[in-house]
Homo-oligomer: A and B are copies of this chain.
Amino acid sequence: MKSKGSLVVISGPSGSGKGTVVKKLREIMPDVALSVSATTRAPREGEIDGREYYFITRDDFEDMVAQGEILEFTSYCGNYYGTPKKEAERITGEGRDLILEIEVDGASQIKRLMPDAITIMLIPPSLSELESRLRGRGTETEQVITNRLARARDEIKLAESYDYVVVNENDGIEKCAENIRDIIRAERNKSARMTYITDTFLDN
């Protein structure tokens, strides 16, 4: 028998660099699993149900959300995209760790649906650093930047409701990803996850 894997939820305000960090994490932890999302958009040529996406109807998707069967979802170009709880349970049940990168407000919802989920909030080193990152993109209006900074302040107040907080220093993507790798590895040794080992030990 093998121990269950973990659902690892990585989140953080816009500008915290979560996309880049998750990409780096997947490079240094190739054994971490990806999940197949459910979507309401039509399959494109060559796409296979259950490989690229689970293709489902809008009605079914909304039903699943109502039933707590979708861990988190987003809507893009009029279609829903979300992570089915069953998919996460299947992967972690096989002993593999699964990474989910989500918006800050979705983490408490996931924790409610999967209490064993490990939640990690990524934060930039400071608000002024976050401001320069957002300005550095050169694509946002002054109003958007002001709104994002205000929202980041609010989001970071939620840090205490996460299990872990990791600071994404400038030029520290690698260190930040290693930090998260340490957390995932450490969680594998939580005594509650090790009962299969101690049980086996006592049987031999």
Contacts and interface: CB of A to CB of B under 8 A. Distances in A.
A123 B198 contact: yes
Contact of A182 (B159, B167, B186, B198): B186
Residue among A120, A121, A186, A195 with max Cβ neighbours from chain B (10 Å): A186
Contacts of A189: 120, 164-166, 179, 182-183
Copies in the complex: 2
Interface residues of A, number: 38
Contacts of A179: 185, 189
Closest 4 CB pairs of A and B: A186-B186, A165-B194, A183-B186, A182-B182
Looking at chain A's contact residues, the main secondary structure is helix
Contact of A160 (B156, B157, B164, B192): B192
A48 interface: no
B165 A197 contact: yes
Interface string A116-130: 000011010111100
Interface of A: 120-121, 123, 125-128, 153, 156-157, 159-167, 179, 181-183, 185-187, 189-192, 194-195, 197-198, 200-202, 204
Nearest to A192: B160
Given A182-B182, A189-B166, A202 B160 contact: no
Given A165-B191, A185-B186, A186-B186, 13 more contacts: A123-B197, A123-B198, A159-B191, A159-B195, A160-B198, A161-B191, A163-B190, A163-B191, A164-B186, A164-B191, A164-B194, A165-B189, A167-B197
